[in-house]
């Protein structure tokens, strides 16, 4: 049921109560009038008849009957004459006023109360006087009936007028409900037009502010979804690019290992053969041959270092633990004064290439920062595999500060973050007091991360 209909029914009920009160007052006034008329008429008729018995009583019952016949009907009274044997000698004629009509029985009971008959005793009989309210009741009914039609018509017109006025007053609410429905369907650009009245202005202002807020929130949510989708796509693209880079690095490393390794070995073998053959015969040739062998050794060492930077072959053949251990051993050879420690979980088997490569590259970059830039004297690497993720921590006691990494130009840290985020993980830098930096990495694991055991 609509609010308009509810309000209209309430007002209709109140108008109905008011109409009933007016009709009730009219019926009560009619009841009083009928009662006063009956009482007055009955008293007058009783007095007249009482005096008449003195004049006509001596003439007998016949004389009294002739008198009553001449008198005729007395208003609002029924007169009956009985002889001493209780035989009816006379009764008042029926009323001629509004003859043939009577008020409804229910109305007559409302406005008239029966009066006890009065009896006048004669020497040879008696007169019975009975009050008759039928004409007075009919007059009241004739007065009430037009009033009922007027009240009913006024009630109908008042309800129609109230219904129209309520519709006009509630127009802002209908517009508000319609606008809310449009907003609920996604039309966030819906706005209310100018509404009449102070309350209409408040409704319009409040709704339009709310709609603008909803539109802004929806726009922000859509932009956030687009940004999230773009970020996910960028991470996937970053992961694909890194995988392709690692594949290319691996191919180049294998090519260098196979081709350059064989060529350098051949050069060194030929130099050794020349040096042996020239020994004791030509010192210059022997010296030159040994210089060639030295250059070959330098080339081999350079290629070996380049291979480690391009793609650690030990990672492909022996797994992540051995690759990290080999990385730390290489750094110990170049930085013998630095204490390097590795703590690895025993459950590192089954990791896929993406996670193994990401951990290795992050450790490699973190070691470069600690040893080459922060001049650390102690670096601790801890790798632990839990049920749902890999947890990596690289801690040092170097001179690095967090403020340095928050400035631009630190692409190594950015690369570590990209590698972690590409796998759905996170990277956190923490300051260690009094000096040092801790790199904490979490890489989530799932069914897709399982690969061939390294």
Q: How many CA atoms lie within 13 A of 330 on its CB side?
A: 18
* Listed residue (172, 237, 252, 165) closest to 207, CA to CA: 172
Residues linked to residue 430 through DSSP beta bridges, in sequence order: 438
Q: Do 239 and 422 touch, CB atoms closer than 8 A?
A: yes
Is residue 296 very low, low, confident or very high in pLDDT (cuts 50, 70, 90)? confident
Is residue 46 very low, low, confident or very high in pLDDT (cuts 50, 70, 90)? confident
* Listed residue (331, 328, 361, 349) closest to 245, CA to CA: 361
For residues 383-389, give the mean pLDDT. Answer: 87
Q: Choose the most confident range, by mean pLDDT, from 22-36, 292-306, 395-409.
A: 22-36
Residue with the larger pLDDT of the pair 61 and 162:
162
Residue with the larger pLDDT of the pair 207 and 56:
207
Q: Read off the tokens for 90.
A: 């006379």
The 8-class DSSP code of residue 170 comes to T
The per-residue pLDDT for 428 is 92
The per-residue pLDDT for 447 is 58
The per-residue pLDDT for 289 is 83
**Phi then psi dihedrals of residue 432, to 5 deg:** -105, 125
For the cut 60, the answer to whether the pLDDT of residue 448 exceeds it is no
For residues 177-183, give the mean pLDDT. Answer: 84
**Cβ neighbours for 444, distance < 8 A, ≥ 6 positions apart:** 388, 389, 423, 424, 425
Residues 103-149 have pLDDT tens digits of: 898 888 888 887 888 888 887 888 888 888 888 888 889 989 999 99
For the cut 90, the answer to whether the pLDDT of residue 43 exceeds it is no
Q: Do 76 and 126 touch, CB atoms closer than 8 A?
A: no
Q: Do 362 and 382 touch, CB atoms closer than 8 A?
A: no
Q: Read off the tokens for 355.
A: 């996670």
CATH number belonging to domain 318-454: 3.30.565.10
The span from the CA of 428 to the CA of 440, in Å, is: 5
For residues 62-73, give the mean pLDDT. Answer: 82
The per-residue pLDDT for 407 is 61
The per-residue pLDDT for 410 is 63
Q: Is the peptide bond before 190 cis (omega within 30 degrees of 0)?
A: no
**Phi then psi dihedrals of residue 437, to 5 deg:** -130, 140
The per-residue pLDDT for 54 is 67
For residues 2-6, give the mean pLDDT. Answer: 79
The per-residue pLDDT for 313 is 66
The 8-class DSSP code of residue 447 comes to G
Q: Do 74 and 96 touch, CB atoms closer than 8 A?
A: no
Residues 318-375 have pLDDT tens digits of: 788 888 888 898 889 889 999 999 998 777 777 888 888 889 889 988 998 888 888 8
Residues 68-77 have pLDDT tens digits of: 888 888 888 8
Residues 243-279 have pLDDT tens digits of: 777 677 777 777 777 777 778 788 888 888 888 888 8
The per-residue pLDDT for 453 is 37
The span from the CA of 60 to the CA of 83, in Å, is: 10
Q: Do 125 and 89 touch, CB atoms closer than 8 A?
A: yes
Q: Containing H/E element for 411?
A: helix 411-422
Residue with tokens 């809310």: 180
Residue ranges per domain, the chain? 3-169, 318-454
């Amino acid at each position: 049921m609509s609010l308009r209909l509810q309000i209209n029914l309430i007002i209709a009920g109140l108008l109905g109560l008011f109409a009933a009160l007016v009709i009730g007052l009219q019926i009560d006034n009619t009841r009083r009038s009928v009662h006063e008329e009956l009482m007055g008429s009955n008293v007058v008729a009783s007095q007249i008849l009482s005096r008449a018995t003195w004049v006509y009583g001596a003439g007998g019952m016949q004389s009294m009957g002739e008198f009553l016949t001449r008198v005729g009907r007395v208003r609002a009274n029924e007169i009956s004459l009985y002889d001493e044997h209780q035989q009816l000698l006379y009764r008042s004629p029926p009323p001629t006023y509004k003859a043939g009509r009577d008020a409804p029985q229910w109305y007559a009971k409302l406005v008239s109360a029966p009066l006890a008959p009065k009896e006048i005793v004669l020497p040879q009989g008696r007169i019975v006087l009975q009050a008759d309210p039928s004409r007075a009741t009919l007059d009241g009914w004739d007065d009430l009936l037009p009033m009922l039609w007027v009240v009913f018509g006024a009630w109908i017109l008042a309800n129609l007028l109230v219904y129209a006025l309520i519709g006009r007053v509630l127009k802002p609410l209908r517009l508000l409900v319609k606008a809310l429905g449009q907003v609920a369907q996604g039309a966030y650009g819906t706005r209310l037009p100018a509404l009449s009245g102070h309350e209409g202005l408040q409704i319009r202002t409040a709704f339009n502010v709310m709609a603008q807020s909803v539109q802004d929130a929806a726009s922000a949510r859509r932009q956030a979804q687009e940004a999230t989708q773009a970020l996910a796509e960028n991470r996937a693209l970053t992961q694909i690019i890194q995988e392709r880079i690692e594949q290319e690095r691996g191919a180049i490393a294998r090519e260098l290992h196979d081709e350059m390794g064989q060529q350098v070995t051949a050069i060194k073998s030929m130099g050794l053969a020349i040096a042996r053959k020239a020994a004791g015969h030509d010192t210059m040739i022997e010296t030159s041959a040994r210089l060639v062998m030295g250059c070959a050794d330098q080339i081999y060492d350079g290629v070996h270092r380049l291979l480690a930077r391009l793609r650690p072959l030990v990672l492909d053949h022996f797994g992540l633990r051995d690759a990290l251990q080999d990385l730390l051993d290489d750094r110990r050879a170049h930085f013998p004064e630095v204490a390097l420690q590795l703590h690895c979980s025993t459950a590192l088997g089954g990791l896929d290439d993406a996670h193994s490569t990401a951990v290795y590259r992050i450790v490699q970059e973190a070691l470069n920062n600690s040893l080459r830039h922060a001049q650390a004297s102690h670096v601790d690497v801890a790798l632990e595999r839990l049920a749902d993720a890999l947890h990596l921590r690289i801690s040092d006691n170097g001179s690095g500060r967090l403020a340095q990494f928050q400035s631009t130009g630190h692409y190594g840290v950015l690369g570590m973050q990209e590698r972690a985020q590409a796998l759905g993980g996170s990277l956190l830098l923490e300051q260690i007091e009094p000096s040092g930096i801790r790199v904490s990495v979490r890489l989530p694991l799932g069914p897709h991360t399982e690969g061939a055991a390294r």
